[in-house]
Amino acid sequence: MTIKVKRQLNDGPNIRREKEIVSKMIYIYCKKKHNQKVFCEECQDLNDYAWKRLSLCPFGEEKAACAKCSIHCYKQDYRERIKIIMRFSGPWMLLYHPIESIRHFRIPGKLRK
Ligand SMILES: [Zn+2]
């Protein structure tokens, strides 16, 4: 029997907020693209994956937004999927959750005055 040292999972306020944001974005995408009221299987899977990555993020509470992170811990296919979702849901986030969005995303230069 091997003794496995369990890594402490991240559970600080920043990580929790990130999880909330990523779930909201996937939710918007699934609702509008897949016409689901709850996550479809594929989106649920991606959501679980994103949460797991956040729980294990080596930066923990110090982490920057994932898009700006130097590690890119996502597996290739998940990365592609989350990118598509971010691109799709980003503008909706500004509409539905402006405070979180402004905190989380840097507003692209061309939108600035
Ligand atoms: Zn879906």
Residues 26, 86 contacting (CB under 8 angstroms) = no
Mean pLDDT score, 29-57: 94
Split at pLDDT 50, 70, 90, the class of 5 is low
Average pLDDT, the chain: 85
Other beta carbons less than 10 A from residue 20's beta carbon: 12
Cα of 29 from ligand 1 centre, angstroms: 7
- pLDDT(51) > 70: yes
Ion ligand 1: residue ranges with CB closer than 5 A? 30, 34, 40, 43
Three-state DSSP class for 75?
A: coil
**Tens of pLDDT, residues 60-90:** 998 877 767 778 789 999 999 999 999 999 9
Cα of 22 from ligand 1 centre, angstroms: 13
Q: Which CA distances in Å does 17 have to 23, 25, 69?
A: 10, 12, 17
Residues 10, 55 contacting (CB under 8 angstroms) = yes
